[in-house]
Structure 1
Amino acid sequence: MGNVGKVVLVTGAARLLGGRFVRRVQREPEVERVIAVDVEPPEHDLGDAEFIRADIRQPMIGKVLARRSVDTVVHLDVSGTPLGAGGRGQAKETNVIGTMQLLGACQKAPTVRRLVVKSTTSVYGAAPRDPAVFTETTPVKSLPTGGFAKDAVEVEGYVRGFARRRPDVAVAVLRFANILGPSADTPLAEYFGLPVLPTVFGYDPRLQFAHEDDVIDVLLVAATEARRGTLNSGTFNIAGDGVLLLSQTARRLGKPTVPVLLPAVTWVGRLLRTAGVTDFSAEQIRLLTHGRVVDTREMRETLGFVPTYSTAETFHAFAASRGPGLLPPERMARTVDRLAARVPADRG
């Protein structure tokens, strides 16, 4: 490319995480232009980036890649929550059909040299006989059957196909543990925002978190730094050090838990969706039953990234940003009573 700087295209720019990454990557000295893409115009500032309103499910994305001579694509438009008023169906379409369309466009674009894809550790599922710690190559015993986790499994499959067809492109898939932080808008953040946390009776799962600041930093490493000539190709688990038990998270939030018998959990899922927790799917319930812990050695040794925040520090930053957790005692008592009163009816 001679002296020409990188031309970086970022999908999902209307989301907070996408917007933050767009603003950050344009400060890199070797980056000449940043093209931000989303179906909705962002409500946040994108700095000097060029915003293109485009639906990645449509062929127009191919024209954008070709006309702008894009060499680096950072695909962040893979999410558990729909943008705007769209429902779960729209989120799935954007995740799966949008990724297919984007990869098809990348395949035809000779200028593309690097692809970074946001994925999730949810691809490992969560089951009773899972290994204590998942590595990137652990065979999965129970593939996710629905929700965002199933989308991510499909997305990764298409990305592997693309990598085989375009071996000249460096492809990095980043599997993030649950992302938390002051501006996190994930389903798990919504769950922790509830006044009382429903838990599965008899289980206290181990959880890992990735701080949103570390997410931006590791995306930057994957998109801009060539290490040891490998251009950071591969699949990488991304999480803060250590684990927290669900009971510890509740204590740190200052919130009570209501243990629910496993057969009643589907009812709790319905209750949470009514309360506005968008993607409290079967996958979320399995995570809050069995937990999930991943090995991050590849992240450190191959990608060369060391997170600033541990899992506990990430959760502390999230909890501190939410203010005091406790409801007034009388409202708390009423909420607990109402939840507890419903549980026995669902035991059968």
Structure 2
Amino acid sequence: MAPENDGIAPTALRSVLVTGASTFLGGYLVARLAANPDIERVVAVDSRVPSKDLMRRMGRAEFLRLDIRRPAVARAIARYEVDTVVHNAPSIMDSVEHSAAIKELNVVGSMQMCAACQRSPSVKRLILRSTSMVYGASGADPALFAEGTPARREPKRGYGRDLIDVEGYVRGLSRRRQDIDVTILRYQSMLGPRIKTRVGSYLSMPLVPTALGYSPRLQFLHEEDALAALEHATLVRRPGTFNIAADGVVSLAQAVNRAGHIRLPVAASLVQPIIGVLRDGSLPAMRAGHEGYLTYGRVLDNTRMRTEFEFEPKYTSLETLDDFIARGRTSPVISAAAWRGFETRAAIAATALQ
């Protein structure tokens, strides 16, 4: 028999506050929660106003334009007697480069949010959307990163460093307020036809610089699975830290080939500078936190996601990639038919040589 508190418990979700409401994950999560009649109140928070379409989708949710770095967030939590906070605000996938301003938003904003939750007697749950970048990426990495695996080369800067600090503040909150359940979701690289991420922009380049002599192993998470996991964490009480990633691994070479693009192998130290030269205004730089990733890749163990968090992605890594290619904004330089023809000829030649 399942524990009494397991499963969806509508009465426990009287008032939910979601930060980062102008982003894809935050805005669409608000829309889903607002459509759930078992949730009394949904409060959407962001310093930026969501698009008209996203605002329309939010329905009955109340939008507050405020900066989470300011004391106003504590007043909002008190005013709406928030019991569940979904902290989706840390920036890890926007089309802007990491900067001191972004670091302040991520770190100081999260400090302010944790302080507001600590002071509020109504808050009982906090869900943080984190990132797999906290594990770093190096040649000494294990084949799979489990939630308790320490980073072999901990990020010193960039988004990975920000989220290491943010996770520390959130765990500190759980120690100070042991009545608050904390759930940390470490998302793998996200891809999808609607969400804009650095990895998606990188794979959309017609000419893709890659590290010569390396074949990084990649793992993806579909945008719909990313959204569903965040909704699942909100509706179902599952405290703890969980990797959120799809099954399967795709090599960078395979990803570029399936997209119909052309690899440009260069020395590993030149990948970042050449991306900077080739990218246009629509492509964010793959700099801080991505150097090792484009050389060594990063793969997560998603066992606890299934057994303890009880979430099952609908898409594998390969299916996520294919959907991104089929419905996204990328255009092939070499058609899929041409690649299939090349692979067939290569297979025939390999057989003949045996």
Scaled to the shorter chain, the TM-score interval is 0.7 to 0.9
Once structures 1 and 2 are overlaid, which stretch shifts more, 64-73 or 320-329? 320-329
The one of 110, 123, 129 aligned to 1:118: 129
Give the 3 Å change call, closer, same or farther, for CA 177–162 of structure 1 in structure 2. Answer: same
The one of 107, 112, 122 aligned to 1:101: 112
Deviation at 1:249, TM superposition (A): 0.5
Q: Work out whether 1:142 is the aligned partner of 2:142.
A: no
For 2:308, the equivalent position in structure 1 comes to 302
Deviation at 1:26, TM superposition (A): 1.9
For 2:246, the equivalent position in structure 1 comes to 240
Deviation at 1:260, TM superposition (A): 1.0
For 1:176, the equivalent position in structure 2 comes to 187
Deviation at 1:141, TM superposition (A): 1.3
Give the 3 Å change call, closer, same or farther, for CA 87–247 of structure 1 in structure 2. Answer: closer
Kept after mapping to 1: 8 A contact 2:209/2:275: no
Kept after mapping to 2: 8 A contact 1:12/1:18: yes
| Counterpart-to-counterpart distance in 2, 1:303 and 1:55 | 31
Once structures 1 and 2 are overlaid, which stretch shifts more, 62-71 or 181-190? 181-190
Q: Work out whether 1:54 is the aligned partner of 2:66.
A: yes
SS state at 2:290 partner: helix
Q: Work out whether 1:31 is the aligned partner of 2:43.
A: no
SS state at 1:14 partner: coil
- Give the partner amino acid of 1:26: A
Kept after mapping to 2: 8 A contact 1:81/1:187: yes
Once structures 1 and 2 are overlaid, which stretch shifts more, 303-312 or 185-194? 185-194
Deviation at 1:57, TM superposition (A): 0.6
Q: Number of matched residues? A: 323
SS state at 2:130 partner: strand
Deviation at 1:296, TM superposition (A): 0.5
Kept after mapping to 2: 8 A contact 1:181/1:314: yes
Once structures 1 and 2 are overlaid, which stretch shifts more, 121-130 or 140-149? 140-149
Deviation at 1:220, TM superposition (A): 1.3
Give the 3 Å change call, closer, same or farther, for CA 328–2 of structure 1 in structure 2. Answer: closer
Kept after mapping to 2: 8 A contact 1:81/1:279: no
| Counterpart-to-counterpart distance in 1, 2:322 and 2:204 | 14
For 2:233, the equivalent position in structure 1 comes to 222
| Counterpart-to-counterpart distance in 2, 1:145 and 1:126 | 12
Kept after mapping to 2: 8 A contact 1:81/1:88: no
| Counterpart-to-counterpart distance in 1, 2:225 and 2:287 | 26
Q: Work out whether 1:293 is the aligned partner of 2:299.
A: yes
The one of 190, 211, 230 aligned to 2:222: 211
Give the 3 Å change call, closer, same or farther, for CA 189–323 of structure 1 in structure 2. Answer: closer
Deviation at 1:78, TM superposition (A): 1.1
Give the fraction of aligned pairs with identical amino acids, expressed as a percent. 42
| Counterpart-to-counterpart distance in 2, 1:297 and 1:48 | 36
Kept after mapping to 2: 8 A contact 1:82/1:91: no
Deviation at 1:187, TM superposition (A): 1.1
Once structures 1 and 2 are overlaid, which stretch shifts more, 312-321 or 49-58? 312-321
| Counterpart-to-counterpart distance in 2, 1:18 and 1:260 | 37
SS state at 1:175 partner: strand
Deviation at 1:81, TM superposition (A): 4.7
Taking the TM superposition and a 5 Å limit, the aligned residue runs for 1:1-348 are 5-43=13-51, 44-45=54-55, 46-81=58-93, 88-225=99-236, 231-271=237-277, 276-322=282-328, 325-327=331-333
Give the 3 Å change call, closer, same or farther, for CA 219–324 of structure 1 in structure 2. Answer: closer
Which sections of structure 2, spanning at least 5 residues, go unmatched? 1-8, 336-354
Deviation at 1:89, TM superposition (A): 2.4
| Counterpart-to-counterpart distance in 2, 1:132 and 1:283 | 19
Deviation at 1:90, TM superposition (A): 2.2
Kept after mapping to 2: 8 A contact 1:34/1:50: yes
